[in-house]
Amino acid sequence: MANSVDPKTGFCSKTMTFHSLRPPVPLPSESAPVSITDFILSCLNSSPPSSTAVALIDATTRRRILYPDLISQIKNLTASLRTHYGLSKGDSAFIFAHNNINTPILHLSLFSIGVVISSVNPAATTPEINHQIGLSKPVIAFASSDSVHKLPLLKYGTVIIDSVLFESLMETQSEKKEVIKVNQSDVATILYSSGTTGKVKGVAQSHRNWTASIASGYSKRPVGKPPTVAFCTVPLFHAYGMTYTLRFLATGDCIVIMGGGGRFDLRKMCGVIEDYRVSHMALAPPTIVTMVRHGEVMNGYDLSSLEGISCGGAHLSKSMIERFRKRLPKAQLSQAYGLTETTGRVFATLGPEESRVEGATGKLMANCEAKIVDPETGAALPPGKPGELWVRGAFIMKGYVDNEEATAATLDSEGWLKTGDLCYINDEGFLFFVDRIKELIKYKGYQVAPAELEHLLNSHPDVVECAVVPFPDEEAGQVPAAFVVRQSGCNISESEIKDFVARQVSHYKRIRRVTFVGALPKNASGKVLRKELVKLLSAPPSKL
């Protein structure tokens, strides 16, 4: 097969499959019992950081954790969680916290026991929390002090992650217990992803999924390179933030974390970059937009240490990329493509040459395969032809929790994950995102399912029917816009519709625009023609 693989694109004309042209990354034998924590500690053992190397920095309190202390705190916390709370393999823990320097330590401790982590946005509402708890079935919760009031009582209660108690759990040396055997096939995390139908789905990811994702970054670190200072500004409850943090810890680098859940502060972020000589950053597209629109704020700071900026979670427009590069010409902006279902990135721009290709989201990562499939015929397509992106590899989720129908619709019998995104791969092997086949709305990197909002709107007694579609927004990327058919004789207003939804969903799911119509456009089978509604939103207003 090697002879039939195009050395430029990685495309095999015999199998109609794209293969990664990056060197393969070695992974542990699938049968070996290796947890995510085992893998990261083995990476650190093979290339030990110095005893004075800093692992974690809290940008708010300026607290630093050295690598020797990190390892001892992981061991202490692991023993404390087993001794004081009786946590054991197969249990599930609900993590409901804003970014915190203690979170990576908690993650690695739970992984080492084989406890499944269910990590949730602390902005979630009570109905959303209840749904996610129903999927993950946690026995214990770990929460920020400002979000703990939202949680119900669980079997082993709730531990506040930014408390003196939690600090004591990390410092108390408990007696050692027998080693727990964690298999790579065991579920490690249940993170959440919105589908095109119904409520959010619980994505079950294995220890091997995470190990494969972490290994792809570990293999790229040059031997003898001084430690990197990486700043994680994205949420640790998201796959993006979790993979970014674990990847840099595996390479013995330093991660800076800014705690708290307040509003984004560009000045504070620039101050952190300057103070800690940050060389790499993980950003979401809305932060890029803010940096471009309010660039004058950055003028008073020394940002010369910045070398690489990773951007993922949503698509960046070409114009925004160009404007950003003019603002920070020395920093390499690297885009990536990935899903919660792929445990992070599967395409990425690595190195200055790849980052210069405008509009691309990179090349296929090591240990990955891809197909571009015609959504209508199911036929695999060659380079240059747009179709649905399918991916396969060790990073693909196990499936959706308690949802065999959705799993079967997304994963086929050969292990291919159907992304629902319309893309093409060009004649140099770069992925270009075209549009979403799925009807998801991307608000600042968050996924919003129209069906969930439509279900809520349809529950209102004054609404006959409705449809929710994306409306372009420069700062957010997209915002939810609703078309509503009112009951005859009813005068429910736009603000009442917005308030009705806002009371029941997280801030990023709120309806931002309402248009009242006499009827929704539909095809012969009764399906709403969403593209027609999107056109109505973009049409110039009538002069009548």
Q: What is the DSSP letter of 494?
A: H
Cα distance between residue 23 and residue 36, in whole Å: 22
The pLDDT assigned to 291 comes to 86
Residue 26 in this model has a pLDDT that exceeds 80: yes
Question: Which residues, 6+ apart, have CB-to-CB distance to 341 below 8 Å?
Answer: 193, 203, 396, 397, 410, 417, 419
Class of domain 441-538 as given by CATH: alpha beta
Quote the CA–CA distance of 407 and 341 in Å, as a whole number: 11
Is the sign of the CA dihedral 74, 77, 83, 87 positive or negative?
Answer: negative
Q: Which residues have C-beta within 8 Å of that of residue 411, sequence separation ≥ 6?
A: 396, 397, 399, 417, 418
Read off the pLDDT band of 544 (50, 70, 90): very low
Q: What is the pLDDT of residues 216-268, one digit of tens each?
A: 876 566 656 677 999 999 899 999 999 999 999 999 999 999 876 667 789 99
For residue 278, is pLDDT > 70? Answer: yes
Task: Tell me the DSSP string of 93-152.
Answer: EEEE----TTHHHHHHHHHHHTPEEEE--TT--HHHHHHHHHHH--SEEEE-TTTGGGPP
Q: How far apart are CA 175 and CA 394, in angstroms?
A: 36
- Say how far apart CA 206 and CA 213 lie, in whole Å: 11
Q: Which fold has domain 2-435?
A: Rossmann fold (3.40.50)
What integer is the mean pLDDT of 94-99?
Answer: 95
Match 């291919």 to its residue by tokens.
416
CA atoms of 165 and 384, how far apart (whole Å): 57
| Distance separating alpha carbons of residues 75 and 270, to the nearest angstrom | 34
In this prediction, residue 445 has a pLDDT band, given cuts at 50, 70 and 90, of confident
What is the H or E stretch that residue 218 is in? helix 207-218
Model's pTM, two decimal places? 0.83
Domain extent listing, the chain:
2-435, 441-538
What is the band of 541 on the pLDDT scale with cuts at 50, 70, 90?
very low
Tokens matching residue 537: 């939103």
Give the pLDDT band of residue 458 (cuts 50, 70, 90).
confident
93 near 237, Cβ under 8 Å?
no
pLDDT at 543 over 50: no
Give the tens place of pLDDT for each residue, 40-63.
999 999 989 999 999 999 999 999
Q: Are 229 and 254 in contact (CB under 8 A)?
A: yes
Q: How far is it, in rounded angstroms, from Cα 422 to Cα 415?
A: 19
Cβ atoms within 10 Å, residue 23: 10
Given a cut of 90, whether residue 212 has pLDDT beyond it is yes
Per the CB < 8 A criterion, the answer to whether 273 and 301 are in contact is yes
